Amino acid sequence: MKVIDLSISLNGNKILNNLSIDFWDGLIHALVGPNGAGKSTFAATIMGLRGYEKAQGDIIFKNSSIKNSTIEQRAKKGITLAWQEPARYEGLTVQQFISASTSGKDNEETAQALKIVGLDPSRYLKRAVDKTLSGGERKKIELASIVAMKPAFVMLDEPDSGIDVSSLEKIFDSINILKENGSTVLLITHSLTVLNHSEHAFLMCCGKLIDKGPVDKIRPYFENKCIPCDHTNKPVFD
């Protein structure tokens, strides 16, 4: 995927400012930056969510522009997004939710996806995707659906949020499996731990790309508690 001069204003404020990023296929990328940098807006714009359709610039995916594509069309091309706070789906069981996102995969594949993220299928397949599940459980179930889906390009917003320390390795294992299955992965994060599980990284601030390169090049942003510049945003570090 290639993003070219992407700009968008929301409520009169310019959130993305001529942002250009080239994602290398098949790698695990990280997108880091302070609160208000535009990271989540970037993900919403790539996904084509309602309210983010009027971005300027272009988005090239599989050698063609998707700038004017609907969210449904982008999803059919293999682009998906998992938010920091996963949604609830009242009336659906975990099995139905995962199967719906993968065009009816069989039960064994659904169960295997749950095992990958560290959930026991015998305990979760028949459970409802509702308020009886914790945020961490819903996050794992959403990730299981994405693993089963095998998308071409997946964006994970704060993939470690709400996940207990003992489950983190399962999350990182799942991300590695996404890569092994051919997905290009973008991790939107405030966490040095997540950055360290990436292969390439981008640093954003005020809607602009500040730096990019190997993880070692971006790591000083965390180690030095940001980098010298003239913005007023305050970074958050985990």
Question: Would residue 230 count as lying in a domain?
Answer: no
Question: Would residue 172 count as lying in a domain?
Answer: yes
What are the pLDDT digits (tens) for 98-128? Answer: 887 766 556 788 899 999 999 999 999 999 9
Instruction: Supply the pLDDT for residue 103.
Output: 61
Secondary structure class of 192 (helix, strand, coil): helix
Question: Would residue 238 count as lying in a domain?
Answer: no
The H helix count followed by the E strand count for the chain is 10, 12
Mean of pLDDT over the chain: 89
What global pTM score does this model have? 0.90
**Domain of 110, in residue numbers:** 2-223
Q: Which tops the pLDDT comparison, 169 or 86?
A: 169
Instruction: Supply the pLDDT for residue 237.
Output: 47
How many domains, the chain? Answer: 1
Alpha-carbon distances, residue 28 vs 31, 154, 190 (angstroms)? 10, 10, 16
Amino acid at 136: G
Question: Would residue 114 count as lying in a domain?
Answer: yes
pLDDT at 36 over 90: no
Nearest residue to 78 via CA among 202, 189, 182, 201? 182
The H-or-E segment that residue 6 falls in is strand 2-10
The CATH number for 71's domain is 3.40.50.300
Question: Would residue 14 count as lying in a domain?
Answer: yes
Burial label for 86, CB within 10 Å (0-12, 13-18, 19+), is: buried
Burial label for 64, CB within 10 Å (0-12, 13-18, 19+), is: exposed
Question: Would residue 231 count as lying in a domain?
Answer: no
Question: Would residue 34 count as lying in a domain?
Answer: yes
What are the pLDDT digits (tens) for 175-214? Answer: 999 999 999 999 999 899 999 999 999 999 999 999 999 9
Question: Would residue 161 count as lying in a domain?
Answer: yes
